[in-house]
Amino acid sequence: MSTQMKLIIPLLDKNITKEDLSSKAGFVDAYIFDKNRPAIDNCIFLMYDMSKTTAETGKREHNFAKCTNIHSIKVEYIGGKPFKIFAFKIIGKDVKDLLNGYKPKQYNNVVRILSFWRGYDDDVNKTMLINKPERISRDWKTIPEYDYRPSPQMGFGINKGEAL
Protein backbone atom coordinates (compact mmCIF):
# COMPACT_ATOMS: atom_id res chain seq x y z
CA MET A 1 0.00 0.00 0.00
CA SER A 2 1.30 3.44 -0.85
CA THR A 3 2.24 6.03 1.75
CA GLN A 4 -0.51 8.27 0.40
CA MET A 5 -3.13 5.58 1.13
CA LYS A 6 -1.63 4.93 4.57
CA LEU A 7 -2.22 8.58 5.40
CA ILE A 8 -5.72 8.76 3.91
CA ILE A 9 -7.30 5.58 5.31
CA PRO A 10 -7.31 6.64 8.99
CA LEU A 11 -9.25 9.76 7.95
CA LEU A 12 -11.95 7.87 6.01
CA ASP A 13 -13.91 6.67 9.04
CA LYS A 14 -13.16 6.45 12.76
CA ASN A 15 -14.34 2.81 12.86
CA ILE A 16 -11.55 1.53 10.60
CA THR A 17 -8.70 -0.02 12.59
CA LYS A 18 -5.13 -0.89 11.70
CA GLU A 19 -6.07 -4.57 12.08
CA ASP A 20 -8.71 -4.13 9.35
CA LEU A 21 -5.82 -3.55 6.93
CA SER A 22 -4.14 -6.90 7.57
CA SER A 23 -4.02 -9.89 5.26
CA LYS A 24 -5.71 -11.90 8.04
CA ALA A 25 -8.68 -9.53 7.71
CA GLY A 26 -8.67 -10.20 3.97
CA PHE A 27 -7.26 -6.79 2.99
CA VAL A 28 -5.89 -6.72 -0.54
CA ASP A 29 -5.20 -3.04 -1.28
CA ALA A 30 -6.56 0.50 -1.43
CA TYR A 31 -7.38 2.25 -4.69
CA ILE A 32 -8.28 5.71 -5.92
CA PHE A 33 -10.17 4.55 -9.03
CA ASP A 34 -12.53 1.80 -10.08
CA LYS A 35 -12.36 1.64 -13.88
CA ASN A 36 -15.26 -0.84 -13.79
CA ARG A 37 -17.51 1.84 -12.26
CA PRO A 38 -16.18 5.18 -13.54
CA ALA A 39 -19.31 7.02 -12.42
CA ILE A 40 -18.25 6.51 -8.81
CA ASP A 41 -15.74 9.23 -8.19
CA ASN A 42 -14.60 11.12 -5.15
CA CYS A 43 -14.14 7.83 -3.28
CA ILE A 44 -11.37 5.65 -1.90
CA PHE A 45 -11.85 1.93 -2.49
CA LEU A 46 -10.75 -0.74 -0.02
CA MET A 47 -10.73 -4.28 -1.42
CA TYR A 48 -11.01 -7.48 0.64
CA ASP A 49 -10.59 -11.13 -0.31
CA MET A 50 -13.86 -12.87 0.55
CA SER A 51 -12.35 -16.33 0.37
CA LYS A 52 -10.70 -15.68 3.75
CA THR A 53 -12.76 -16.53 6.79
CA THR A 54 -10.93 -15.75 9.99
CA ALA A 55 -11.74 -14.12 13.30
CA GLU A 56 -10.14 -10.99 11.86
CA THR A 57 -12.51 -10.93 8.87
CA GLY A 58 -15.42 -11.13 11.29
CA LYS A 59 -14.05 -8.24 13.35
CA ARG A 60 -13.55 -6.21 10.18
CA GLU A 61 -17.12 -6.84 9.08
CA HIS A 62 -18.30 -5.77 12.53
CA ASN A 63 -16.19 -2.57 12.39
CA PHE A 64 -17.28 -1.71 8.86
CA ALA A 65 -20.95 -2.22 9.75
CA LYS A 66 -20.53 0.82 12.05
CA CYS A 67 -18.89 2.99 9.37
CA THR A 68 -21.00 5.98 8.40
CA ASN A 69 -18.90 7.17 5.46
CA ILE A 70 -19.39 4.19 3.12
CA HIS A 71 -20.74 5.18 -0.29
CA SER A 72 -21.26 1.62 -1.55
CA ILE A 73 -20.33 -2.03 -1.02
CA LYS A 74 -19.97 -4.37 -3.97
CA VAL A 75 -18.93 -7.99 -4.34
CA GLU A 76 -17.13 -8.75 -7.60
CA TYR A 77 -15.04 -11.59 -8.98
CA ILE A 78 -11.52 -10.90 -10.17
CA GLY A 79 -9.47 -13.82 -11.48
CA GLY A 80 -12.23 -16.18 -10.36
CA LYS A 81 -12.06 -15.06 -6.72
CA PRO A 82 -14.71 -13.06 -4.86
CA PHE A 83 -13.72 -9.66 -3.49
CA LYS A 84 -15.72 -7.20 -1.42
CA ILE A 85 -15.08 -3.61 -2.41
CA PHE A 86 -15.95 -0.79 -0.03
CA ALA A 87 -16.16 2.71 -1.52
CA PHE A 88 -15.60 5.41 1.11
CA LYS A 89 -16.58 9.00 0.33
CA ILE A 90 -13.75 11.50 0.28
CA ILE A 91 -14.65 14.16 2.82
CA GLY A 92 -12.62 16.84 4.48
CA LYS A 93 -9.96 19.22 3.26
CA ASP A 94 -7.07 17.17 4.63
CA VAL A 95 -8.08 14.06 2.65
CA LYS A 96 -8.41 16.16 -0.50
CA ASP A 97 -5.00 17.72 0.20
CA LEU A 98 -3.49 14.25 0.67
CA LEU A 99 -4.94 13.20 -2.69
CA ASN A 100 -3.11 16.16 -4.23
CA GLY A 101 0.12 15.17 -2.49
CA TYR A 102 0.12 17.57 0.46
CA LYS A 103 0.35 16.71 4.16
CA PRO A 104 -2.68 17.25 6.39
CA LYS A 105 -2.74 20.56 8.25
CA GLN A 106 -5.32 19.98 10.98
CA TYR A 107 -3.68 18.91 14.23
CA ASN A 108 -6.47 16.42 15.04
CA ASN A 109 -5.99 14.64 11.71
CA VAL A 110 -2.21 14.44 12.14
CA VAL A 111 -2.72 12.88 15.58
CA ARG A 112 -5.37 10.52 14.19
CA ILE A 113 -2.99 9.26 11.47
CA LEU A 114 -0.07 8.78 13.88
CA SER A 115 -2.30 7.09 16.48
CA PHE A 116 -3.80 4.78 13.88
CA TRP A 117 -0.37 3.42 12.85
CA ARG A 118 0.89 3.48 16.48
CA GLY A 119 4.37 4.57 15.39
CA TYR A 120 5.09 1.25 13.66
CA ASP A 121 5.09 2.43 10.04
CA ASP A 122 8.33 4.07 8.91
CA ASP A 123 6.79 5.63 5.78
CA VAL A 124 4.08 7.31 7.84
CA ASN A 125 6.55 8.45 10.51
CA LYS A 126 8.97 9.95 7.98
CA THR A 127 6.21 11.74 6.09
CA MET A 128 4.36 13.09 9.11
CA LEU A 129 7.23 13.85 11.48
CA ILE A 130 9.95 15.22 9.22
CA ASN A 131 9.22 18.84 8.48
CA LYS A 132 9.88 18.94 4.75
CA PRO A 133 7.73 20.79 2.25
CA GLU A 134 8.02 17.90 -0.25
CA ARG A 135 4.90 16.59 -1.87
CA ILE A 136 3.77 13.06 -1.12
CA SER A 137 4.00 10.66 -4.07
CA ARG A 138 0.53 10.21 -5.47
CA ASP A 139 -0.97 6.78 -6.01
CA TRP A 140 -3.08 6.38 -9.16
CA LYS A 141 -3.90 2.67 -8.82
CA THR A 142 -7.20 1.39 -10.08
CA ILE A 143 -9.10 -1.74 -9.12
CA PRO A 144 -8.36 -4.58 -11.58
CA GLU A 145 -11.01 -5.36 -14.14
CA TYR A 146 -13.89 -7.51 -12.91
CA ASP A 147 -14.51 -10.93 -14.42
CA TYR A 148 -17.25 -11.00 -17.02
CA ARG A 149 -20.36 -12.55 -15.53
CA PRO A 150 -23.41 -12.62 -17.77
CA SER A 151 -26.58 -11.53 -16.05
CA PRO A 152 -29.33 -14.16 -15.89
CA GLN A 153 -32.21 -13.80 -18.32
CA MET A 154 -35.17 -12.46 -16.43
CA GLY A 155 -38.79 -13.46 -17.09
CA PHE A 156 -38.20 -16.39 -19.46
CA GLY A 157 -38.80 -20.08 -18.98
CA ILE A 158 -35.73 -22.23 -18.66
CA ASN A 159 -36.50 -24.84 -21.33
CA LYS A 160 -38.56 -23.16 -24.03
CA GLY A 161 -37.74 -19.47 -23.72
CA GLU A 162 -41.34 -18.76 -22.85
CA ALA A 163 -42.39 -15.84 -20.69
CA LEU A 164 -43.25 -16.89 -17.17
Does 102 reside within a domain?
yes
Question: 118 — alpha (psi -120 to 50), left (phi > 0) or beta?
Answer: left
Nearest to 83 by CA among 112, 128, 47, 42: 47
> Where does the pLDDT of residue 164 fall: very low under 50, low under 70, confident under 90, or very high at 90 and above?
very low
Is 142 part of a structural domain of the chain?
no
User: Is residue 157 in a domain?
Assistant: no
Q: Which domain holds residue 36?
A: 3-129
Mean pLDDT of 38-51: 94
Sign of CA dihedral 34, 36, 42, 44: negative
Assess if residue 152 is contained within a domain: no
Structurally, how many domains does the chain consist of? 1
The predicted model scores a pTM of 0.87
- For residue 23, being part of any structural domain is answered with yes
Length of the chain: 164
For residue 143, tell me if it sits in a domain. Answer: no
Say whether pLDDT at 158 is over 70: no
Are the C-beta atoms of 30 and 140 separated by less than 8 Å?
Answer: no
Confidence at residue 149, expressed as pLDDT on a 0 to 100 scale:
78
**Dihedral sign for Cα atoms in the order 151, 157, 162, 164:** negative
Window from 1-10, 86-95, 119-128 with minimum mean pLDDT: 119-128
Q: Does the pLDDT value for residue 160 go beyond 70?
A: no
How far apart, in whole angstroms, are the C-alpha atoms of residue 94 and residue 152? 44
Question: Can you tell me the mean pLDDT for 87-107?
Answer: 93
Q: What is the mean pLDDT of residues 85-107?
A: 94
The closest alpha carbon to 128, from 117, 118, 114, 107, belongs to 114
**Planar angle of CA 52, 42, 74, nearest 5 degrees:** 30
Domain assignment present for 15 = yes
Q: Is residue 158 part of a domain?
A: no
